[in-house]
């Protein structure tokens, strides 16, 4: 192998390994930017803030599994399991307030964070989740 072939092989080897590293770096950078420039309470909504106007204009996304969704949910909610939000991002509108929830808010927080890092600024997390909505929502149809 001559020097020219060696450099060509080394360049190809580096190119094959670079994209995942760059993708990981880009993901970390996007998360850092989101975290550095977000307001403390950005991206959350409390059950007490869900009045009739919010209820009638927002899309509610239940991020629990299908069994929990079938057992009971916020009326009109759609079901997109928390692990699937990025795979099903086209179902999350960009032009409408979208409120994600699970039972308590822990799993939906991960989904909301992923969507917000992906650029969906209209996505909110329902603090205290479905349980909190049942107990404290300002409006329940």
Active site residues per annotation: 102
Residue 108 in contact with residue 102, Cβ under 8 Å? yes
Of 98, 20, 111, the closest CA to residue 61 belongs to: 98
Which residues, in sequence order, are bridge partners of residue 79?
Answer: 62
Residue 135 in contact with residue 47, Cβ under 8 Å? yes
User: What is the three-class DSSP state of 112?
Assistant: helix
């Amino acid at each position: 192998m001559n020097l020219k072939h060696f450099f060509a092989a080394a360049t190809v080897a580096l190119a094959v390994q670079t994209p995942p590293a760059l993708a990981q770096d880009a993901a970390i950078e996007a998360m850092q930017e989101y975290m550095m420039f977000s307001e403390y309470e950005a991206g959350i909504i409390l059950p007490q803030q869900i009045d009739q106007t919010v209820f009638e204009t927002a899309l509610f996304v239940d991020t629990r599994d299908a069994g929990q969704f079938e057992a009971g949910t916020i009326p009109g909610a759609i079901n997109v399991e928390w692990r699937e939000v990025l795979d099903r991002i086209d179902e999350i509108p960009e032009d409408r307030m979208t409120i994600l929830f699970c039972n308590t808010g822990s799993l939906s927080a991960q989904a909301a964070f992923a969507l917000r890092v992906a650029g969906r600024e209209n996505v909110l997390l329902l603090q205290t989740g479905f349980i909190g909505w049942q107990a404290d929502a300002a409006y329940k149809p």
